[in-house]
């Protein structure tokens, strides 16, 4: 049965597409139809029972960010650590990232996308039967640009400036069509650069505090990436509400990196290689195509289907030089590698309206994913002659199938409910030339119940309640029993990594409760809280393998997560006419968690961000000018991931500003200023057992300025 399942899924999807195409050839009399749209709060917070916050393209592009992660970090409830996007302060797989409703590929970086390609961002803080249940902290769905309101050609060009470089970017958006057909193209060409300057300090002492060793590493790394993105689309709308949409995304990028560090030994022995240098180059090819069809069977029934193909390949060459004083040996290491991901997925749903205020949905969601990775490592150790070779490869097949049903019912004018049930099965098979075959199979039933009660007669006050079951599946990297080694200075605070084939999914029950108040047309206040209980929580075990330290994931006990969120937007015009068009935005998140198997204090879950704050204002300076600013604050602090290991992340403050000048109906000029406070980033790790070890990294950051011109034809 499993062998024929992909064919059945593919046949079902194709049947929807064929039926829609056939319907286009028939001349049917027009059927009168009524479209019911949900009322919305400001910032597109939907008020149906299945709560979802929707943020538009204009809000996402407001500050002119060149990377998606930078643009998302100002949205309510989202924090970013490096390039990892988090809800409820949780990353490492607890936040599910979707692209057009589909989970992103394992090797796909969300920052390879350009923000200009995005139509909207949807945030689901609770579970949903329709989407994958792999979102314990919540789900972020990034929807690509499909249907611009205005036809024609729009051009953009910008230049971003930092202390040591200037970054060009250009893009266009073209839309055309007539009658039932409409097509378009989005294209972006950009260059990004980054320079990292680190001072890494390592200190070792006895349990009584007597110093044993101290050394510094001064590191400087340079990164440059050139990217071209093309996103063509074609839509057809027929009679009776039938339609077919096809959308594609093609991206190619080349990255070049180089850098190194110099060690200063103040006490004790130096590391294996006191002076190191590296250089690397990589190319990424990403292609994704999907076709969607929707057919109205009768006035109360609709059938929808989707077929998606995805290809992502990364090729990289890495060179490492580690120099050691005589008579010790140095190290010359070359690593040639590639990673390839191929995905075929199909999904669909059958919608049936069972009355004026009652609708039922049944659907499926299946995917076949193939991941291959190869790594060839060549090591030379001058002045000793000879060369060692390590040739590793593995291949992973991932099969996913989900069946779901959901019921949306307006019980009364003021009470609505959403009930859903999803079964999702996952099987991963991994084989390679240097590791034993691994099979991991799991399945989860995920019930969802969401309720919306409009408390007041004017429906300006409403309460939300949601209960859902979600899970977090182990990644392929965490399952493969392969060693990922550090090049130099292995220690408990800088350990190698090894996967664990015995990992199980983390299972969670969640409760979400919220109160929403609509103040005026442009103002609202939302208060919410959440609870999560997670079983089979993954922690990282630290152990010695010969002379090397290794970190390995393992399931250990339970975790308890809770938090509160305040999100408000106020139009200040109500207090003074002089403040026309002025808005105040405020978002506060406070999160707590405890892992039962790790002793406290600070036994939080996967370096969870405990406190984040966004505050900003938008001003209307004149009919042609608008400006604004945003301040983001994140307090992290100490975390204990295991009994003998502590980590630390410093507080971050990021201030951004923008200014828009509309020269005429077709021309705009925009100025953006980023990271105006440019604080230093501080992280650290500490180990305490037979001795004390602390490793701290301090990173310098930079201000950026960007000027952008837009022209509509």
What DSSP line would sit under 149-213, residue for residue?
SS-EEEEEEEEEEETTEEEEEEEEEEEEEETTEEEEEEEEEEEEEEEEEEEEEEEEE-TT--EEE
pLDDT at 570: 93
Weakest-pLDDT range from 209-218, 232-241, 521-530? 232-241
Q: What is the mean pLDDT of residues 100-108?
A: 80
**Cα–Cα distance between 228 and 339 in angstroms, integer?**
20
**Cα–Cα distance between 675 and 703 in angstroms, integer?**
5
Paired with 394 in beta bridges are 373, 432
Q: How confident is the model at residue 241 (pLDDT cuts 50, 70, 90)?
A: confident
**Cα–Cα distance between 299 and 292 in angstroms, integer?**
20
Joined together, the tokens standing for residue 133 give 């249940």
**Cα–Cα distance between 596 and 537 in angstroms, integer?**
9
Is the per-residue pLDDT at 216 higher than 60?
A: yes
pLDDT above 90 as % of the chain = 58
Instruction: Check residues 2 and 445 and name the one with the higher pLDDT.
Output: 445
pLDDT at 166: 85
What's the mean pLDDT when you consider all of the chain?
Answer: 87
Element (H, E) at 22: helix 5-25
Residues 6 or more apart from 374 whose CB is under 8 A from it?
337, 338, 392, 393
CB atoms near residue 194 (< 10 Å): 13
pTM equals 0.86
**Cα–Cα distance between 686 and 684 in angstroms, integer?**
7
Q: How confident is the model at residue 49 (pLDDT cuts 50, 70, 90)?
A: low
Residue with tokens 């249907």: 147
**Cα–Cα distance between 395 and 501 in angstroms, integer?**
14
Weakest-pLDDT range from 34-48, 83-97, 240-254? 34-48
For residue 469, the Cα-to-chain-centroid distance in whole angstroms is: 21
Joined together, the tokens standing for residue 491 give 């220690």
Residue with tokens 């403040």: 579
Weakest-pLDDT range from 62-66, 85-89, 171-175, 203-207? 62-66
Residues 6 or more apart from 684 whose CB is under 8 A from it?
647, 648, 694, 695, 696, 697
pLDDT at 661: 93
**Cα–Cα distance between 157 and 169 in angstroms, integer?**
6
Joined together, the tokens standing for residue 345 give 């997925």
Instruction: Check residues 7 and 169 and name the one with the higher pLDDT.
Output: 169
Residue among 282, 287, 221 at smallest CA distance from 250: 287
Weakest-pLDDT range from 152-166, 257-271, 279-293? 152-166
Per DSSP, the three-state class of 136 is: coil
Q: Peptide bond preceding 481: is omega within 30 degrees of 0, i.e. cis?
A: no
Query: ∠ CA 190-196-200 to the nearest 5 degrees?
Result: 160
Is the per-residue pLDDT at 29 higher than 60?
A: no
C-alpha separations of 590 from 82, 323, 335, 637 in Å: 20, 47, 43, 13
pLDDT at 707: 93
Paired with 464 in beta bridges are 452, 514
The values of phi and psi at residue 674, to 5°, are -120, 150
Instruction: Determine whether 290 is exposed, middle or buried from the number of CB atoms within 10 Å of its CB (0-12, 13-18, 19+).
Output: buried
Residue among 436, 68, 37 at smallest CA distance from 227: 68
CB 110 within 8 A of CB 66: no
pLDDT at 148: 65
Residues 6 or more apart from 246 whose CB is under 8 A from it?
233, 234, 235, 289, 290, 291, 292
Is the per-residue pLDDT at 480 higher than 90?
A: no
pLDDT at 233: 92
Instruction: Check residues 569 and 521 and name the one with the higher pLDDT.
Output: 569
Is the per-residue pLDDT at 33 higher than 90?
A: no
Joined together, the tokens standing for residue 542 give 């630290």
Q: What is the mean pLDDT of residues 47-53?
A: 68
Element (H, E) at 60: helix 57-60
Q: What is the mean pLDDT of residues 38-44?
A: 39
Weakest-pLDDT range from 42-51, 311-320, 460-469, 537-546? 42-51
Residue among 381, 453, 468 at smallest CA distance from 416: 453
Is the per-residue pLDDT at 21 higher than 80?
A: no
pLDDT at 50: 62
**Cα–Cα distance between 637 and 646 in angstroms, integer?**
10
Q: How confident is the model at residue 12 (pLDDT cuts 50, 70, 90)?
A: very low
Instruction: Determine whether 495 is exposed, middle or buried from the number of CB atoms within 10 Å of its CB (0-12, 13-18, 19+).
Output: buried
pLDDT above 70 as % of the chain = 92
H-only helix segments in 65-165: 68-72
Q: Is the dihedral of CA 521, 525, 531, 532 positive or negative?
A: positive
Determine if residue 324 is left, alpha or beta; phi over 0 gives left, psi from -120 to 50 gives alpha, anything else beta.
Answer: beta
CB 602 within 8 A of CB 646: yes
Q: How confident is the model at residue 149 (pLDDT cuts 50, 70, 90)?
A: low
CB 321 within 8 A of CB 331: yes
Element (H, E) at 402: strand 387-410
pLDDT at 633: 95
Weakest-pLDDT range from 9-13, 252-256, 620-624? 9-13
**Cα–Cα distance between 556 and 506 in angstroms, integer?**
10
Residues in the chain: 713
Paired with 471 in beta bridges are 507
DSSP letter for 104, please.
Answer: P
Weakest-pLDDT range from 161-170, 200-209, 448-457, 586-595? 161-170
Is the per-residue pLDDT at 62 higher than 60?
A: yes
Residues 6 or more apart from 152 whose CB is under 8 A from it?
174, 175, 712, 713
CB 372 within 8 A of CB 339: yes
């Amino acid at each position: 049965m499993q062998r024929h399942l992909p064919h059945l899924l593919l046949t079902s999807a194709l049947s929807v597409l064929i039926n829609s195409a056939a319907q286009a050839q028939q001349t049917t009399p027009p059927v009168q139809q009524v479209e019911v749209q949900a009322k919305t709060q400001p910032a597109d917070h939907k008020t149906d029972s299945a709560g979802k916050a929707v943020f538009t393209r204009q809000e996402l592009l407001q500050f002119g960010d060149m990377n998606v992660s930078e643009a998302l970090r100002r949205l309510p409830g989202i924090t970013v650590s490096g390039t990892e996007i988090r809800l409820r302060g949780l990353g490492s797989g607890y936040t599910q990232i979707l692209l057009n409703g589909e989970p992103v590929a394992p090797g796909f970086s969300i920052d390879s996308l350009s923000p200009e390609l995005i139509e909207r961002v949807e945030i689901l803080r609770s579970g949903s039967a329709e989407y994958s249940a792999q979102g314990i902290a919540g789900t972020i769905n990034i929807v690509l640009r499909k249907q611009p309101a205005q036809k024609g050609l729009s051009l953009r060009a910008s230049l971003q400036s930092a202390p040591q470089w200037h970054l060009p970017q250009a893009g266009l958006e073209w839309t055309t069509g007539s009658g039932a057909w409409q097509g378009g193209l989005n294209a972006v060409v950009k260059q990004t650069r980054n320079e990292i300057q680190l001072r890494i300090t390592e200190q070792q002492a006895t349990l009584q505090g007597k110093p044993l060793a101290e050394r510094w590493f001064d590191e400087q790394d340079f990164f440059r990436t050139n990217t071209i993105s093309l996103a063509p689309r074609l839509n057809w709308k027929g009679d009776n509400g039938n339609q077919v949409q096809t959308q594609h995304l093609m991206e190619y990028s080349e990255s070049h990196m180089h850098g190194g560090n110099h060690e200063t030994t103040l006490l004790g022995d130096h590391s294996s290689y006191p002076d190191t240098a590296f250089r690397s180059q990589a190319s990424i090819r990403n292609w994704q195509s999907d076709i969607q069809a929707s057919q109205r069977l009768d006035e109360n029934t609709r059938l929808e289907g989707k077929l998606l193909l995805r290809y992502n390949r990364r090729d990289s060459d890495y060179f490492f030089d580690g120099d050691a004083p005589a008579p010790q040996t140095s190290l010359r290491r070359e690593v040639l590698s590639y990673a390839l991901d191929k995905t075929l997925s199909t999904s669909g749903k059958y919608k049936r309206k069972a009355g004026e205020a009652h609708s039922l949905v049944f659907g499926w969601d299946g995917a076949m994913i193939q991941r291959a990775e190869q790594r060839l490592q060549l090591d030379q150790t001058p002045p000793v002659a000879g060369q060692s070779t390590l040739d590793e490869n593995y291949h992973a097949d991932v099969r996913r199938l989900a069946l779901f049903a959901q019921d949306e019912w307006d019980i009364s004018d003021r009470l609505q409910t959403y009930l859903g049930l999803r079964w999702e099965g996952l099987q991963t098979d991994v084989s390679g030339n240097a590791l034993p075959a691994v099979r991991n199979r799991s399945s989860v039933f995920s019930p969802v119940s969401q309720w919306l009660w409009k408390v007041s007669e004017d429906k300006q006050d409403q309460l939300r309640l949601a209960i859902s079951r979600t899970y977090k599946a182990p990644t392929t990297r965490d399952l493969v029993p392969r060693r990922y080694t550090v090049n130099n200075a292995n220690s408990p605070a800088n350990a190698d990594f090894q996967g664990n084939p015995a990992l199980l999914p983390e299972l969670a029950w969640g409760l979400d409760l919220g109160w929403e108040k609509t103040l005026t047309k442009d103002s609202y206040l939302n208060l919410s809280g959440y609870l999560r209980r997670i079983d089979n929580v993954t922690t990282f075990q630290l152990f010695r393998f010969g002379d090397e330290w290794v970190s390995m994931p393992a399931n250990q006990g339970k975790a308890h997560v809770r938090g509160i969120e305040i999100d408000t937007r106020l139009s200040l015009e109500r207090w003074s006419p002089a403040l026309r068009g002025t808005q105040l935005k405020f978002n506060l998140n406070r999160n707590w968690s405890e892992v039962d198997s790790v002793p406290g204090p600070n036994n939080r879950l996967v370096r969870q961000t405990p406190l984040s704050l966004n505050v900003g204002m938008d001003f209307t300076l004149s009919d042609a000018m608008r400006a604004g600013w945003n301040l983001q604050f994140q307090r992290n602090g100490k975390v204990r991931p295991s009994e003998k290991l502590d980590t630390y992340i410093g507080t971050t403050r990021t201030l951004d500003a923008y200014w828009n000048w509309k020269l005429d109906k077709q021309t705009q000029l925009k100025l953006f200023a980023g990271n105006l406070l440019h604080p230093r980033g501080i992280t650290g790790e500490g180990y305490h057992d037979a001795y004390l070890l602390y490793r701290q990294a301090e990173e310098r950051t930079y201000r950026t300025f960007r000027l952008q011109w837009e022209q509509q034809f």
